[in-house]
A and B are shown apart, each in its own frame.
Chain A
Amino acid sequence: MKSWLNNLRVVGLFFLLVSLGYLWTAQSIPLDFWSEQEPFNARSLPYLIGTACVFVSLLLLALPSPSFDWSLLRGLNIGPAVMMLSLLSTYGFMIDKLGFLFSTFCLLAAGFFLLGERRPLRIISIAAGVTGIFWVIMDLLGIYLNPGDLFLDWS
């Protein structure tokens, strides 16, 4: 079982499910009376692509393929990657609330630290420098960066 389930089949199985879901959703694309009569409407291409995806996924599942060495994925640094992902996601939620300057400084400083930089002076100076220079360039280009809803509420 383990050798049968190689990388091609894992992805094939995943996209088989995705394409079935895609086809099912395509059925509920709203069409008015006239569009339904047209030979090519908003559902046509999704049906074609969805069917093609089902076909290719089935080929990936059915055709014999070399086994995949799953141990290659064992030595990955998953911890720091997940932490960086959470950091970026938090940044996405906070940028409108805390404003560009504060949230960007925090993102960069925390990112440097998470990935192994330990010199505080270096962390603070680079994070502050990049944030400041980026903000000045955007200001010169006339691009408005939100100072943050929280700060706007206070003022």
Chain B
Amino acid sequence: MIDGILLGLQTVLTLQNLGLVLAGCAAGTFIGMLPGLGPISAIALMIPVTYGFDPASGMILLAGVYYGAIFGGSTSSILINAPGVAGTVATAFDGYPLSQQGKAGKALAVAAYASFAGGTIAAVFLVLAAPSLAELSLSFQSADYFILMLLGLALVAAFSERGDYLKAILMTIVGLMLSTVGTDLSAGVQRFTFGRMDLIDGISFLLLAMATFALAEAFMMVLKPTPKAETQFPTYADLSLSRKDVKRIVPSIGRSSVLGFLVGTLPGAGATIASFLAYGMERNIVSPAEREQFGKGSLAGLAAPEAANNAACTGSFVPLLTLGIPGSGTTAVLLGALIAYGVQPGPRLFIDAPEVFWSVIVSMYFGNMILLVLNLPLIPQIARVLLLPRPILVPLIMFFSVMGVYLVSFNSFDIQLMLMIAVAAVVLRLLTFPMAPLLLGFILGGMLEDNLRRAITLSDGSWSFLWDRPLTLALVMVTTVVIITPLIRYILPQKRLREAS
């Protein structure tokens, strides 16, 4: 493990890679601060930039973007009560009241320190957990992977709100359907290309991510213009914390970081769920006097979701790095980027490309440090992006989204396809259907098919691989419970509702 950390340090501590962490954090903060644009859009927009780099450098940049985007989201939550990211909605509960009381500097500092501490604690857990989990997962076979991927997809739907379960399942299936467009690599036949040469290679994941997130968000900004941000920011020159403040937030940060990391490692539950759980847990644990302050500007209420969302971001790398299975939309995009670099994540990554594995882990830590040391003092400058008028900002986001896709293929058909998908995504969003499960289904589709084909071929066409080995059987049972339970919970109240009426 020490060797691994040293290898990671060696990779990260080059002038180029340090520069990339820095650039990634700054770009991520910048994009994440824009209301609506979250880490998925930020990463998708930055992927084309990384194609010239080696996989380790590319991932270092993207890890920086991920953390930066979350940090940027917190900043807009605190300053203007407009969370740029779903994971920082809970930050606004106490962050915005603090900023209204003229304590925006203190709120930003608490958010930054809590994020840093959450990231640090989670990074330690990741270093301890990932290698052993990667070794354990080497014993997994195709059948286990197939079931694990199904489990990952089912969990994303299971963790959505109760009424949204079927919507998330449907979107996952639509993502799987889109993944079958193109040439089937095992037989070399074309599927669903309708005779179009442009579709022979299938739909690129970058195109889909850009169309369903960055471009769709830009169109949403045109369709539903939000009230103009206040042109006068609260003053926040004072970023210092008193000893009493520190004493108040330290226990919250500790508890929330552990909770955040654990929630983050679960496929499907990401930073958003972690931050809400941490906020709820803190409110129940703190003294009655402090509880009174929740929602009115409590420091503990701000520190808890901030520590948890950062810890969950780190935690979400555990299934990605060890199993090659992304647990969230954001890690799905990172997985797509890794595959585009020619790196297959999973237990073999740890053995075949240890420099990528360890440099991602080490760079995440550096990303956290850079956010604290450099971004916090620079926030007043970066926050000016919030003042950029919409008529200028929206066409720029659209241009960068379109260019990001065009520069990869130089095929103008991709621009038209992207626009069609973006229109469909906007309509589905307006009808309250979530997009992240679609992306996850799309990215897992190919791997799901490979593993299912291998498992069925190995068992001579029989489905008995599902119950032949105890490990697979256990996974099948867990997956069945995860799929069926929310479905029953979804159907039952509705049935009662109908009977009552």
Contacts and interface: CB of A to CB of B under 8 A. Distances in A.
Contacts of B180: 45-46, 49
Interface stretch (B22-30, B304-312, B450-458): B450-458
B191 A85 contact: no
B223 A64 contact: no
A77 B170 contact: no
9 contacts: A15-B174, A52-B173, A65-B163, A81-B222, A92-B412, A104-B399, A111-B395, A112-B392, A117-B391
Interface of B: 52, 163, 166-167, 169-170, 173-174, 176-177, 180, 184, 186-187, 189-192, 219, 222-225, 389-392, 394-396, 398-399, 402-403, 406-407, 410, 412, 415-416, 419, 423, 426, 428, 430-433, 445, 448-449, 452-453, 456-457, 460-462, 490-491, 494-495, 497-498
Interface of A: 7-8, 10-12, 15, 18-19, 22, 25-26, 29-32, 35, 38-42, 44-46, 49-50, 52-53, 56-57, 59-60, 63-66, 68, 73, 76-78, 80-81, 84-85, 88-89, 91-93, 95-96, 104, 107-108, 111-112, 115-117, 122, 126, 130, 134, 138, 141, 143, 146
Contacts of A76: 223-224, 430
A1 B439 CA distance: 33
A47 to B, nearest CB: 10
A108 B399 contact: yes
A126 to B, nearest CB: 6
B88 to A, nearest CB: 25
B187 A143 contact: no
Contact of A31 (B189, B402, B452): B189
Contacts of B423: 85
Nearest to B180: A46
A-B pairs with the 8 shortest C-beta distances? A39-B461, A111-B395, A92-B415, A115-B391, A42-B184, A117-B391, A7-B431, A40-B456
Given A53-B177, A64-B494, A96 B396 contact: no
Given A29-B184, A77-B223, A96-B412, 8 more contacts: A30-B190, A40-B452, A42-B189, A53-B173, A64-B497, A88-B398, A115-B222, A130-B399
A76 B427 CA distance: 12
B432 A84 contact: no
Given A64-B494, A111-B394, A134 B403 contact: yes
B134 to A, nearest CB: 28
A41 B177 CA distance: 16
A107 to B, nearest CB: 6
Given A92-B412, A104-B399, A134-B403, A77 B225 contact: yes
A25 B222 CA distance: 36
B154 to A, nearest CB: 12
Contacts of B491: 63
Nearest to A34: B187
Given A46-B191, A77-B224, A60 B419 contact: no
Interface centre among A30, A31, A56 (most CB of B within 10 A): A56
B250 to A, nearest CB: 44
Contacts of B186: 41-42
A7 B428 CA distance: 9
A85 B419 contact: yes
Contacts of B398: 84, 88, 111
Contacts of A126: 392
Contacts of A10: 431
Nearest to B218: A84
Interface centre among A66, A111, A134, A146 (most CB of B within 10 A): A111
